Amino acid sequence: MKIFTVGNIRLADLYTIQNEPISFVQLMERASSLCAQWIFLNCKHHTKFAIFCGNGNNGGDGFAVARMLYLKGFDVYVFVNKEQLKFSDEALINYKRLKDISGISVRDFNETSTYSFDEKTVIIDALFGTGLSRSPEGIFKEVIEFLNSKNNPKISIDIPSGLFANQMNDENSTIFKADHTLTFQFWKKSFLHPETGIFAGKVIVLDINLAKEFIENTATDNFVIDDEVIRNVFKVRQDFTHKGTYGKSIIVGGSYGKIGAVVLATKSALKTGSGLTFVLAPNCGYEILQTSAMEAMFIEGGEKFINQIEEVENTVYGIGPGLGTEKETEKALREFLENNQSPLILDADALNIISKDINYLRLIPKKSIITPHPKELERLFGKTENSFERLDLAKTKAKELGLYIVLKDHHTQIVTPEGKVFYNITGNSGLAKGGSGDILTGIITSLLAQKYSEEEAAILGVWLHGKAADLAAEKYSKEAMQPTDVIDEIGNVFLHLNKKATTEL
């Protein structure tokens, strides 16, 4: 799914209106109807709705939703700023339609504090849409702050009021904090970053059927990894193939006390389908690896173990899990990078070693994939103030170094050398445990060995990792799930992918 700027979303609306054809009011009615239907299906235990409407088209959506919910039998209370009843043309039409219904109470913002927000009440935010360019002020600021203090379920229409769609808000901005955001057609960039996404809650993208021609022909560098993206990337395993068809993965890592990291990476590489899987680790891990990952072949190494493997055709290296950062290991990694020309995956201690000397960055083979978490990226490239700046820095470095950067976060971003960004929306906070990143390294290494392109391996790998984590969380909870549970669910994700692929043939 493409992520568009506010300007391009407006152009998509206009193109749809001109070419469907459909009026702006009818398009608003379509969007509002989908909102009302979702609310009806998901808020059946609530009987009252307090809907706060602004003067623009977001307020118009709110008026339409209020009318529709009332006609479905709910008690509806609408709040407006009666001191300034100057609406946009479309909002005015829906306000007049609302006023024609005697059963809907329309109140002033100043009456908010006297309204009874009981346990049956849902708060709906339709104050400001995507066109907001500054933080709410005056009565709007007061209303948002008051509503945020309430424990009632909160729903925002299109975007939480006060939140910018494509950029960071100021530190002291007033923003409505929603439990759910019912957004239209596209994800907004701000939903996908930790500082701003926290205000959106769970995002529900409603397809309002904007013109497909416009969407397909309008360029963007930002994407969400959705089912369509995965469908185009995933390759069904073919008959009449053999283990050589699916490449060789060599997981390089492990040190005394950190053998678990390389075990997790090796097991996830095996589970993801690598034809042959090797693990190059120090001898202290031999028995553990041979018993816990018996399908993999063990290669013994000491501190200079990286040099013991030569570049081999159809072989992909995943280097870093539990590697350690000793001087001998640092020297060995540098020499390996000086002599290896093929793309590889670098994570964890491999990145920590590289961050010691900026010149090491230039040794990483072009088109390699690095998978830093925010602190590792900071050590590699420098400090940034927030995740938006961090992403911009990653884009600059990906282009400069010719690398793919998998920037791990709640919504992990895959940054390509061409400047494209793919946001992942699978996964959950159950992955916030040691070992989760090691699993991702094994998955991506395995996919790259199976001849997925670097971009495909990163996209599918991150999505697969998150999807398996979602299945694990459903079984064990986010708190109790372990990295090994995520590995165990990889097979169920592949069953799902294969079922969908064969059904669509």
Residue at a domain's end among 163, 185, 220: 220
Residue-level pLDDT at 505: 60
Give the whole-angstrom CA distance, residue 254 versus residue 174: 47
208 and 237 belong to one structural domain? no
The set of residues, in sequence order, having a beta carbon less than 8 Å from that of 484 and lying 6+ positions away, is: 264, 267
Low-confidence ranges of the chain (pLDDT < 50): none
Q: Find, among 255, 295, 290, the residue nearest to 272 by Cα.
A: 295
- If we measure between CA atoms, which residue out of 62, 66, 126 comes closest to residue 101? 66
Q: Region of 185 please: left (phi>0), alpha (psi -120 to 50) or beta.
A: left
List the beta strands (DSSP E) in 313-470: 315-319, 345-346, 369-370, 404-407, 413-415, 421-424
CA distance 276 to 269: 9
On whether both 184 and 100 belong to a single domain, the answer is yes
Q: What is the pLDDT of residue 305?
A: 58
Q: Does one domain contain both 202 and 252?
A: no
Is residue 408 one of the residues assigned to a domain? yes
pLDDT score recorded for residue 460: 98
Judge whether 259 lies within some domain: yes
**Site of tokens 């799914």:** 1
77 with 109, same domain?
A: yes
Do 215 and 235 belong to one domain? no
Token look-up 């946001």 returns: 423
What total of structural domains would you count in the chain? 2
For residues 116 and 37, state if they share a domain.
yes
DSSP letter at 54?
A: -
The stretches of 218-326 forming alpha helices (DSSP H) are 227-233, 259-272, 286-292
Question: Residue 341's domain is classified under what CATH number?
Answer: 3.40.1190.20
Residue pair 127/58 in contact (Cβ under 8 Å)? The answer is yes
Q: Which amino acid is at 291?
A: T
Q: Is residue 111 part of a domain?
A: yes
Q: What angle do CA 141, 147, 149 make, to 5 degrees?
A: 105
Cα–Cα dist 350/328, whole Å: 13
Q: Integer distance in angstroms from the first to the last C-alpha of the chain?
A: 22
Is residue 391 within 8 Å of 368, Cβ to Cβ? no
Q: Which residues of 247-276 are buried (b: 16+ CB within 10 A; e: fewer)?
A: bbbbbbbbbeebbbbbbbbbbbbbbbbbbb
Which range of residues forms the domain containing residue 187? Answer: 6-220
In a domain, 411, yes or no: yes
| pLDDT score of 503 | 82
Residues 206 and 312 in one domain: no
Q: Classify residue 17 by burial, with Cβ atoms within 10 Å: 0-12, 13-18, 19+.
A: middle
Q: Which pLDDT score is estimated for 308? A: 57
pLDDT at 398: 98
Nearest to 163 by CA among 84, 58, 81: 58
Residue 225, domain member (yes or no): no
> Which of 194, 220, 246 lies at the terminal end of a domain, its last residue?
220
Contact 352, 329 (CB under 8 A): no
| Interacting residues of 60 by C-beta distance below 8 A, sequence separation 6+ | 28, 53, 87, 88, 90, 91, 92, 93, 94, 95
pLDDT at 449: 96
CATH code for the domain in which residue 144 is found? 3.40.50.10260
Looking at the structure, tell me whether residues 269 and 216 fall in a common domain.
no
How far apart are the C-alpha atoms of 206 and 333, rounded to whole Å? 49
Structure confidence at residue 309 (pLDDT): 53
Nearest Cα to Cα of residue 391 among 370, 402, 406: 406
For tokens 């950190």, name the residue.
258
Residues 6+ apart with CB under 8 A from 302: 282, 283, 328
Domain boundary among 220, 248, 276: 220
User: Does a structural domain hold residue 226?
Assistant: no
Query: How deeply is 177 buried, as exposed, middle or buried, from its count of CB atoms within 10 A (0-12, 13-18, 19+)?
Result: middle
Residue tagged 């379509």 (tokens): 30
The pLDDT of residue 312? 58
Query: What are the DSSP E strand ranges found in 192-342?
Result: 202-206, 222-225, 248-252, 276-282, 297-301, 315-319
What does the alpha-carbon distance between residue 59 and residue 45 come to, in Å, rounded to a whole number?
Answer: 25
**In-domain check, residue 304:** yes
Residue 478's CB is within 10 A of a number of other CB atoms, namely 16
Give the CA distances from residue 386 to residues 187, 203, 410, 417, in Å, rounded to whole numbers and listed in that order.
20, 22, 14, 22
Q: Do residues 33 and 68 make contact, with C-beta atoms less than 8 angstroms apart?
A: yes
Please indicate, yes or no, whether residues 236 and 210 belong to a single structural domain of this protein. no
CA–CA separation, 242 and 293 (whole Å): 21
The residue type found at 131 is G
182 and 259: one domain?
no
pLDDT of residue 311: 52
Q: Which regions of 93-153 does DSSP assign to beta strands (E)?
A: 105-108, 121-126
Residue 250 in any domain: the answer is yes
Cα–Cα distance for residue pair 216/79, rounded to 1 Å: 39
Burial class from Cβ neighbours inside 10 Å (0-12, 13-18, 19+) for residue 7 reads exposed
Per the DSSP assignment, residues forming a β-bridge with 370 are: 346, 405
Report d(CA 430, CA 466) in Å as an integer: 10
pLDDT at position 35, please? 98
Pair 363, 490 in one domain? yes
- Claim to verify: residue 211 and residue 272 sit in the same structural domain: no
Return the DSSP state at 43.
Answer: -
